[in-house]
Structure formats: C-alpha cells, structure tokens
Amino acid sequence: MERSSIQGNYKACLLKLTGFFVFASFLLLASSCDTGNQQGGMAGRIMPNVTGGTGEVLVVMDQSNWENSAGDLLQDILKEEYPGLPQSEPLFDVIQVTASSFDGVYKFHRSVVLTTVSSGLEPNIRYRENVWSKPQIMVQMEAPTAIALRELISENEATIKSFLVQYDRNRLMNVYKDSKDPAIQKDIATHHQVRLAIPRGYNMDFSKEDFTSVSIESSDLSQVILVYDYPANGPEDLNIANIIKKRNSFTKTYTKGPRDGSYMVIASMFEPIAYDVKNNNMDVLELRGLWDLENGFMGGPFVSHSVYDAKRGRIVTVDGYVYHPNQKKRVKMRQLEAIIYSMEII
C-alpha cells in the first residue's frame, strides 16, 4: 500500500512501485506454480545451471505478436522504469526470441516468459520452476489469438511482475546465505539482535550498540548496509516522518562526506515514497528514495526496511545505499535489496 508520493517526474517514476511489490498477488502463486518434475521437465536428472544475468528476462514470442499490442504491453511491463534511481533504468533487460529459435542455451535461461498462440488453446497462465535448468523460473502463457494473449497479459500484469522480481531477489538471497560472513553476522546479531545474510566481500566499517555500517568500497563504488535501532513508544512510531528524521540523525552523526562539515541526508528535493510490506512474517515500512550530501556534492539511491520490535520496545532499520557516479545502479541496488530482505529479528 502506498504511504506517500513525490513531486514531478520522480513521482511518476516511483509510483510504479504499485505493481512492483504486489506481495498479495504473489502469494497466489503457491497454488498455480509447478516444477519441471511435474510437467515436461527433467525429472530425476541433474539439471544444468541457468544462463543469463540478474535482472534479465528471455521472452519467447513470435515476431508478429512482439511487434503488436501483446508484445507492446509485455515490453511496457518488463521495461518499466526501475523505481528510485537517479538515472532511468528498466526493471528488466529483455531478450526476445521466436519459438523456432528457442533451443539450446536459451532454454537454460534463468527467467523465461514463454508465449504460445494457437486457435485450439484456451487462455491459460502458469508459473513454473526448474523446467530445463536450475534455479529457473518460467511464466507460461497460452491463448487462441493475439488479442486473447494481450488480455491475459493485462489481467495478470501485477502477478507476472511480482513473480519475476521476487524470484530474482530470492536467487541472490540464497547465494548470500550460502556465502555469508560469519564474523559480520555475529557482530550484527550481538549489537542489534538482527540476522542478516551479508556475503563475504563486505568489510566492517564500524559497529556500535545502536549503529553498524558494512560496505564494499572501490575507487568509484560504495555499496553500504546500515543497521540501526532506537527506542519507540509503540507501533505508531513506525511512520514516514519518524523514519526520515531518525535516518537523517544517524547519517549526520556517522556517515560523513569527504569535505569538512559534509554528511549524508535524504535528498530534500525528492520526498521518498513508503510502502507497507510483509517480509519474514514482519510488518515492514519500506522507504525508497535518493540521498545527497549536506555541504557536499555526492548522491545516489537508497532503500530501507524498518520494523517495530514489540519485544524490545524499539524500531530496527536495515538500510542500503549506493554511490556509483555516472554508472548504472540497478544491479547494485538489487544486491542490497536481497540483503535487506533477509532481515530477521532474533
């Protein structure tokens, strides 16, 4: 559910989150998702690894449909603007092939949207896993006509997007859980009573009782995870204004810029957008927007999850931000989101 909106073009960009995190519709997939072992897959065999990159989708659609209304709508869905980035980037990179070309390594792609149009078919959509490779997902759509295919896509737009986004994130989460840094995980658990799947490669910047920062740093890249907590009077303190105020307070104290007197704040020109989401059986306030430096010239995107911890009477926030000037940031943000979504209160 949308909690606030922003002005101008940035508002138009971020409001697309309405379809981006449709968790309610994603829960419906449990009854409609099947695996390759059930139908048409490689039951009992060792399956090959997937091909393709994070945030990439392979669409199998005949050229005539791809260049008409069904293909246009699917492209609009998959290529819509990724929310909260300073430069425009699509939600997914899309590769299209025809059914006659869908063979070999194409069948091993990690995320496949497979469409079939034939006069004898009834409109149908299925969400499948591990059909030709592992871990693979597939949205399979069948329809008797191109018009019926377009209607099927339109009716299932939110669920298609949710399925692809969430499985992309889950793949990263599983990788991170298998390669997590035990020392960093122990430190965060000790100071914040939070479990996070932070992979090896991150370095501990500093850790205090109420604030921890870990990061990957290079000459032109900073990927940073912040964990902080503070007392709360009750769940009513889990609100947008308070989350913004507390974030700015913590970053003013701990996240300094290269110039004397410079520090991180949420960009005042662009009011963040917030959503109520469910994650790991927790009610989460997600905040997404841009940050910049007070008395400085740096900036980038951030996303945070804040939770009210009733047991300890506090709010816990896990926050991720990127600094990567003049470079694309979608993949880096997706990596941070996978860590943030692994949050559990111990």
Q: Which of 278, 280, 285 is nearest to 244 (CA)?
A: 285
Outline where 15-140 has alpha helix (H).
17-20, 23-27, 29-32, 63-66, 69-78
Question: Which domains occur in the chain, in start order?
Answer: 8-176 (3.30.379), 180-345 (3.40.1000.10)
- Distance in angstroms (rounded) separating the CA atoms of residues 95 and 106: 10
pTM score, whole prediction: 0.84
- Structure tokens that stand for 312 in this block: 């300890």
* Model confidence pLDDT, tens digit, residues 267-316: 988 889 898 999 999 999 999 999 999 988 899 999 999 999 999 999 99
Q: Are 95 and 107 spatial neighbours (Cβ–Cβ below 8 Å)?
A: no
* Model confidence pLDDT, tens digit, residues 107-147: 999 999 999 999 999 999 999 999 999 999 999 999 999 99
Q: How confident is the model at residue 44 (pLDDT cuts 50, 70, 90)?
A: low
The pLDDT assigned to 287 comes to 96
What mean pLDDT is predicted for residues 63-78?
A: 97
The pLDDT assigned to 273 comes to 87
The pLDDT assigned to 268 comes to 86
Indicate the burial class of 307 (C-beta count within 10 angstroms; 0-12, 13-18, 19 or more). Answer: buried
